[in-house]
Amino acid sequence: MAATAIPKKRIKESAGDRIFIGVIYVILTLLVIVVLYPLIYIVSSSISSPAAVTSGRVWLWPVELSFKGFEELFRRGEVMTGYLNSIFYTTAGTLISVTLTIMIAYPLSRRAFFGRNALMMVITFTMIFSGGLIPTYMVVKGLDLIDTRWALLIPNAIWVWQVIIARSFFHSSIPEELLEASEIDGCSDLRFIWSVVLPLSKPIIAVLVLMYAVGQWNAYFDALIYLKSADLFPLQLILRSIIIQNNSGSNMDAMAIVEKQQLAELLKYSLIVVATLPVLIIYPFVQRYFVQGMLVGSVKG
């Protein structure tokens, strides 16, 4: 005889439960609108005509479709130079930062590491109290890093909050028994980190990569302070210079000044799209690891 299918019993929801779920859906819908509307508005403004953007006629969809803002940006050779510099700073800086963060966070998560609590207090102290801009500049200058690429890679290579998150993850996800078993088999510390710790730490590595990459991509203040050569400028600093140049309108007639102001307003939106597009492309690929790593590294431990 054929087995009869057992009907699934559905949990009956009360009127209060349905109202609560409805309220949750309404709140989530409003949050999605609040998040998506600025993005849609910026993209629509970036491909609208300068006159439509300045007059405020762009509300949701593009008005008088135009790519003049992007044409003006990529017409300048320094934009591509800035793009390449930012890609280098982001890639190299993220690699250095993630490596150093793991090197300091993993030993701090092991109970056998002598003085780990005192060292963690010292590291946390630097997150609350810093030396300030002038002492930091003097240190960078004393190391002959002014107007070099290293000035953007070394001084802010480690962020304390990322060290705390990574330490919590290692403490909760890499048990001491695993280390003891590897030591019995004759595994060295470096081999254990490379063969065991890193493969088990993909979520937290994704978190660190995303945090450091976004911070390095958006950074411009250090470049403004430490760099002098235009061929070393990151994208954000070059885009800032373009906005300043287009906002200045001396020795021009009234019509040219209006056109330049309209173009400057359009360039703001085009610059936002150009500067944020790489991050928006990368994030979906690491979102799963990012959420998992944040939950494990921040809640547990």
Shared-domain flag, residues 50 and 81: no
Shared-domain flag, residues 91 and 231: yes
**For 98-131, what is each residue's pLDDT tens digit?**
999 999 998 888 888 888 888 888 888 888 887 7
Shared-domain flag, residues 164 and 260: yes
pLDDT higher at 299 or 45: 45
pLDDT higher at 152 or 51: 152
Shared-domain flag, residues 147 and 279: yes
Tokens 């699934």 belong to which residue? 8
Shared-domain flag, residues 151 and 49: no
Residue 67 lies in a domain: no
Shared-domain flag, residues 48 and 182: no
Shared-domain flag, residues 28 and 90: no
Q: What is the dihedral of CA 211, 215, 217, 221, to 10 degrees?
A: -170
Check: CB of residue 45 under 8 Å from CB of residue 55.
Answer: no
Residue 98 lies in a domain: yes
| Dihedral sign (CA 27, 33, 36, 38) | negative
Residue 66 lies in a domain: no
Range of the domain at 141: 76-299
Shared-domain flag, residues 83 and 51: no
**For 226-247, what is each residue's pLDDT tens digit?**
988 888 888 888 877 777 766 6
45 CA to centre of own chain: 24
Residue 6 lies in a domain: no
Residue 90 lies in a domain: yes
Check: CB of residue 229 under 8 Å from CB of residue 237.
Answer: no
Shared-domain flag, residues 264 and 130: yes
Please give the structure tokens belonging to residue 132: 């300030």
Shared-domain flag, residues 42 and 166: no
Residue 62 lies in a domain: no
Domain containing 216 — which CATH number?
Answer: 1.10.3720.10
Number of domains, the chain: 2
Shared-domain flag, residues 50 and 117: no
Residue-level pLDDT at 99: 93
Shared-domain flag, residues 293 and 215: yes
